[in-house]
Amino acid sequence: MAQKQDTQHALLILWGHFAREIGLITGIESVKLDQKVYTHTPQKKVIEFLVAILLGSKHLQDISLAAHPLDKDVATAQAWGQTGWADYSGVSRTLKKLSWAEVHALVAVLEQVSQPFLKNELALLRSQGHRVDYDGDLTGLPVSNTSRTYPNAAYGHMSDEIRLGYQAGVVSLQSPTYGRLWLSVEHHAGDTVSCTQAEALLRAAEKRSGQRPRRRTELLQQRIEACLKSRAPTEKRWATQQEKLEAAQCAKEEVAAELRAETKPKRIAVLERRYVRREKSVEIACKKLEKTQGQMKAHLEQEKKLRQRLEQFEQDTVENPHPVQACFRLDAGFGTYENIALLIEMGYEVYVKLHSHKITAMLKQKTSPETTWTRVGDNAEMVAWSGFELSHCPYPLDIALERFYTGKAQKHSALAHFGDTAVTSDLPAWFNHYNGRQTIEAGIKETKQVFHLHRLKVRSEPAIYLQEALTIFAANFIRWATTWIEQQTRPPENALAFGKMGIKKQVQVAANTSATVIHNSGGMLLRFSPASAFAGEQLFFPAPSKHKWQNYFSPFFTILALIAQKLR
């Protein structure tokens, strides 16, 4: 006999089945959260928080106070394996009490659930002979400038303004199946700047993917040798200045001795003036020596850091018998010489805008009215130089000067590249590949405009990080679910053209529209109501069976069971 239920959140029904299929519900419920249980467990309220994010809720209170409250929708709760949803106030209390350790355990579950999809995409890239392309960025999460209730919030650059809030460091992977997959997110104070985060983004990407390129230890060894050579003049200057200081001190002491022994007033006046000059000479010699000592210290610290890096990279090479070809694209905020050198030494092909505006000015001076510019876009042109040596960069780079118009104003920027691709022979390809990093900018825009990450729904810092992690997971989850739903649903008459919907439409429309859920022995029919945006359309979801998705995730279920045992 068929059972009917009404829902105001149609797509959440299918997403709930998918969440159960991939072990997400089991994984979250296995995490130990040290809180009292009344009607709903804290784990179930974390699941509810994720569902609210998937709904595109702007505020946590929308769970209970929206036009169609989630906590009144029994059908969606059951689809997500719950008997019901908690009031938003209960969800808020649970999130506020979460510790950093508990949040990290929850994020570990999200990463474990994501791993099969990530592993599959990386294998697909290898089979297609493609390299791994990463994009990294830092995005601001502002709060009210007058707020005093957000812990460790700080003022920093956010959307071309100085705002109070936080920064999230994110990395995405270019995916052949899904277009973009988020790999990681790290939580930072609002005054964190991009140039300090390049290595952290790289490490996070490598940790999540489990893959890395071959370290360029030979280049790093050459850089260390160059450091030793560049230190030699400083050492020589230090020795010379040390001798001059000792000589100046001796001359000063000689005048002081004469002054103590002298009795004639006229001679004393002469010696006093001489003593002042000798004292000034000692002061000047000391300042010169201190400056050189500072330079020596910087040399030694740099050498020590590079030697430690070389030791680590040599170990990385031993532990990485199957290196991959990988590329990292970053914007100008990360484009310092030290960051570029690090990316190169870590083995990446590098595409970046240069941080220093002085390079742009210098490149402009190298052009003339006779310079041939190559059109690379509708309003962009480039001119480039290969093997360009910059005074503060240890490695020669491919450098390009880009000019473009924003309105009537002409602007310039400098691009840099290091790698085997002959970018200077195909400037449109260079321009298009670098600007392909707009995929991460579009992803950041999606997290804010679709999932409203910029509206922090919580105020404790661990919970803020959880919101960040759940948001990028939600963006991935919907992409995976879209493929899964297309494979699992059978097209009945008047079937919804589900695969043609973008993420925004799925969240803002399909997940917030009314439907009737009809269950019978053959499966489930989702029939959109006449008052919905998809009136007359429907989706049929057959009864669960042993299909390829269950086989695909069977190793993951075993892992989850082991994790659950340890946590208990």
Per-residue model confidence (pLDDT) at position 545: 56
Last residue of a domain, one of 406, 436, 466: 436
- pLDDT of 556 above 80: no
Mean predicted confidence (pLDDT) in 25-39: 94
Q: What is the mean pLDDT of residues 13-40?
A: 95
- Whether 386 and 419 share a structural domain: yes
102 occurs within a structural domain = no
CB-CB contact of 416 with 354 (8 Å): yes
Percent residues over pLDDT 70 in the chain: 95
Please tell me whether residues 180 and 239 are part of one structural domain: no
Distance, in Å, from the CA atom of 141 to the CA atom of 307, rounded to the nearest integer, reads 37
Distance CA 121, CA 185 (A): 19
Only one residue has tokens 């510019």, namely: 373
Q: Tell me, what's the pLDDT at 493?
A: 65
Q: Which of 419, 436, 453 represents a domain boundary (last residue)?
A: 436
pLDDT in tens, 306-316: 999 999 999 99
Return the minimum-mean-pLDDT range out of 209-223, 434-448, 473-487, 497-511. Answer: 497-511
Q: Are 309 and 225 within one domain?
A: yes
Is 371 in contact with 423 (CB distance < 8 Å)? no
**pLDDT tens column, 106-157:** 999 999 999 999 999 999 999 999 999 999 999 999 999 999 999 999 999 9
Q: Is residue 14 within 8 Å of residue 526, measured between CB atoms?
A: yes
464 within some domain: no
Average pLDDT rounded to a whole number, residues 33-53: 95
Whether 227 is covered by a domain: the verdict is yes
Shared domain for 84 and 58, answered yes or no, is: yes
Ramachandran category for residue 23: left, alpha or beta (phi over 0 → left; psi -120 to 50 → alpha): left
- Judgement on whether residues 350 and 265 belong to the same structural domain of the protein: no
Final residue in a domain of this structure, among 269, 293, 318: 318
With CA atoms as reference, report the closest residue to 509 among 525, 528, 494, 486.
Answer: 528
- pLDDT tens-place string over residues 195-240: 999 999 999 999 999 999 999 999 999 999 999 998 999 999 999 9
**Residue 521: predicted pLDDT:** 83
Q: Are residues 207 and 235 in the same domain?
A: no
Query: Could you tell me how far CA 242 lies from the centroid of its own chain?
Result: 48
551 pLDDT band, cuts 50/70/90, is very low
My answer on whether 74 and 51 are in the same domain is: yes
End-to-end CA gap in the chain: 40
pLDDT single digits (tens) 84-98: 999 999 999 999 999
Number of domains, the chain: 4
- 363 is a domain residue: yes
Q: Domain range holding 162? A: 131-216
